[in-house]
Copies of this chain bind each other. A is one copy, B any other.
Amino acid sequence: MDKSTLRRIDNTLKHLTKVTSDIENIHPHLNETPNLKTLKSILDGEYHFDRDRLKELFEESSTFDEIFLNKSIHTDEHREQTLKACKEIIQLQIVKLSDMEKNPKKFLNWFETISLCDPSVSLKFAVQYNLWGGTILFLGTKKHHERYLDGIENGSILGVFGLTELGHGSNVNGLETTATYDEANQEFIINSPTWNSQKYWPGNISRHGQMATVFARLILRGVDKGIHAFVVPIRGEKSNQYPYGKLCDGVEVRDISLKDAYNGIDNGGLLLKNVRIPRENMLDRFSQVDAQGQYHSNIPPNRHFAMTMSVFFIGRACLSLNSLAFTKAGLSIAVNYAKNRHQFGATTKSKQELPIIAYSTTHRRLIPYIARTYALDMAHKTIADLIPTYPKETIHSYTSGFKAITSWAAVEALQSCREVMGGQGFRLCNRVSMLRNHADLVTTGEGDNTVLTQQVAKYLLGLYHQVVKGSKKSVEHLSFKGELAYINNLTAQPPTPNTNANQLSNISYHQWLLEKREFLLIKELHSRLYGRHDDELIEPNTERWFTVWNQSLPLCIRITKANVDRLTQSFFLKKIVEQSGSNLVDTATLTMLKNLCRLDSLVQIQKDFGFFVNTGLMSGESKWIQLEDEITHLSRDISQHASVLTQAFSIPNKFNPLQNSIE
């Protein structure tokens, strides 16, 4: 990272850590109703017209009716409907493929909105645009762009992202598929040498895909040059007999059958038996093979694969928003249910039954997830803002960490919505269990969350080590930069709240706790791998290193959670400050946003309460019960406005059952 980039990031982050004092004094009472229109406009963001056009289409076109929730349909029927839905969305011409690079904010906004209808539709776009399109756009050159991009964008060339194999998922560096150059014919011969090397899982394989980007080991004159990407036609011209084209010679596909979600996607396995493709089908942005079979690349071999993979952060951000959109829909449905469903009364004499939203258990089962959803929404918006200017490795770490934490949070939230709704949450037509199952896939799709947490931890560890290595100073006297600059300002004692204020509700206190935790966890991981005094370095890539690293993996998950929690609070606060400066937002709405931020921090702090107490960051008799009560009371206060908060998610009626009654 060059110095000017670092300085720019430092400044952004300094701004982030400074903001809390400005909003600490907002009136803390929650009796006034926040403004629905304002909340909706904040959530919809600057591309709200795109959202409106899509939602209009959803409501008007019967293609977006979710038939599969009401009867057992054959997967082929579901897949055709999914494709039809994609084509109707394409006709709106809202985004261009190039927006992934040039206007990621618009693209992400569009993708999030699509996630509101049958989730298979958005995933079909993830396959077609992000992955198949993304490989052509990011790894190809002009000749590929000219040949394919239009067809990809308008849906006339459907394609496959052939990366993972049956035997290799997370460790894609171990792929077995080969691309052997044949000088005589100027062709590559693409081959799946084993059953385990079949391209496995990608959508568009078993039914719709005409082309595939196949990642394979490039073999030049017997030498393995590592993983490269190639465009391979898998189906020929369309005909009456073969509406999606007959399979090309040497191409074998299989369907991987029913799944727990996304059945509108034709996932499959793809075996290639010495399929020949012309030399120009190699995607040659980072490296090239000339006619004579000479290899050229500007990128060092050990960085080549990482470089190739680094362009796909946009897909990860999309899936993250996918799970966030499911959560918004699920919470809207569950809040409707909780308002309509009556149960028991305040006293056994009172004939009047209470809606279950009056119970503290319902508050606790819904409101913290609403808070988390607002917080993560604002965080995702902030990341979208940062993508164009921030360095790739930072964005890679952000999108990896946020995908992991957001999808895990989505499964947890939707499980809770399901349980709040009892049996009704179980009927497919009420959508919530269906959404939970889809969010679940996101936890391992586009990178297994557990593996992604290792990427985040390594990134943070690297930044930390850069500053600490070789220095004999204690950490307090070192100067951290960029992402870790917050460490420089970390005080030994927590900030003192205003007189009479409850420390537990103090946003600056939360921030201090979240920063302290992340710092202490990184320090712990660092001391394991580099020794307490930077003098017991374990040589990387040795068996001993592996043992220590392997035993530290649970710590990587903690670090990622800590990192994302800290960033989420900062990003949320940044958005609140922006709003508070705009004069368009009333105090009741700002107060609500601030309290959502406060509740989210408190809940995350409670989840790791043991750490905070044991490290001395929190203390005081019966703190556990104070924390429990603070969350219960804050959830209760916010619950009065649960409807407004979820209405602001503006889920289309078609996808928001139980608005009036429960049948």
Residues of chain A whose beta carbon lies under 8 Å from any beta carbon of chain B: 69-75, 166-171, 174, 200-201, 256-261, 342-344, 346-349, 353, 358-361, 364-365, 411, 415, 418-419, 422-423, 425-429, 433-434, 437, 440-441, 443-445, 448-450, 524, 541-543, 545-546, 550-555, 557, 606, 608-615, 618, 622-625, 628-629, 632-633, 636, 662-663
Contact = CB atoms under 8 A, between A and B. Distances in A.
A422 B444 contact: yes
A441 B426 contact: yes
B553 A259 contact: no
Contacts of A625: 524
B553 A450 contact: no
A169 B344 CA distance: 10
Contacts of A365: 450
B624 A615 contact: yes
A437 B553 CA distance: 28
Q: Which are the 7 A-B pairs with shortest beta-carbon distances?
A: A609-B610, A260-B433, A610-B610, A258-B428, A346-B546, A613-B613, A614-B624
A563 to B, nearest CB: 17
Contacts of A419: 443-444, 448-450
A65 B661 CA distance: 39
Contacts of A554: 360-361, 364, 628, 632
Contact of A663 (B166, B415, B418, B628): B166
Nearest to A423: B201
19 contacts: A69-B258, A72-B72, A72-B75, A166-B662, A168-B343, A169-B343, A170-B343, A170-B344, A174-B344, A257-B429, A259-B427, A359-B553, A364-B553, A419-B443, A419-B450, A425-B444, A433-B440, A524-B625, A554-B628
Contacts of A425: 444
Contacts of A622: 614
A365 to B, nearest CB: 7
A411 B257 CA distance: 24
A557 B541 CA distance: 46
Contact of A171 (B343, B445, B553): B343
A636 B167 CA distance: 24
A361 B353 CA distance: 47
Nearest to A195: B663
A488 B433 CA distance: 46
A56 to B, nearest CB: 28
Contacts of A553: 359-361, 364
Given A411-B415, A450-B365, A624-B614, A167 B342 contact: yes
B426 A541 contact: no
Contacts of A260: 426-428, 433-434, 437
A555 to B, nearest CB: 7
A258 B429 CA distance: 7
A651 to B, nearest CB: 20
Contacts of A449: 419
Given A360-B551, A418-B440, 17 more contacts: A71-B258, A170-B343, A171-B343, A171-B353, A174-B343, A200-B423, A258-B429, A259-B426, A259-B433, A260-B428, A260-B433, A364-B554, A365-B450, A426-B444, A606-B610, A609-B610, A615-B624
Contacts of A614: 609, 613, 618, 622-624
A524 B344 CA distance: 25
Contact of A437 (B200, B259, B433, B445): B433
A366 to B, nearest CB: 12
Nearest to A605: B610
B546 A361 contact: no
A82 to B, nearest CB: 15
A613 B627 CA distance: 14
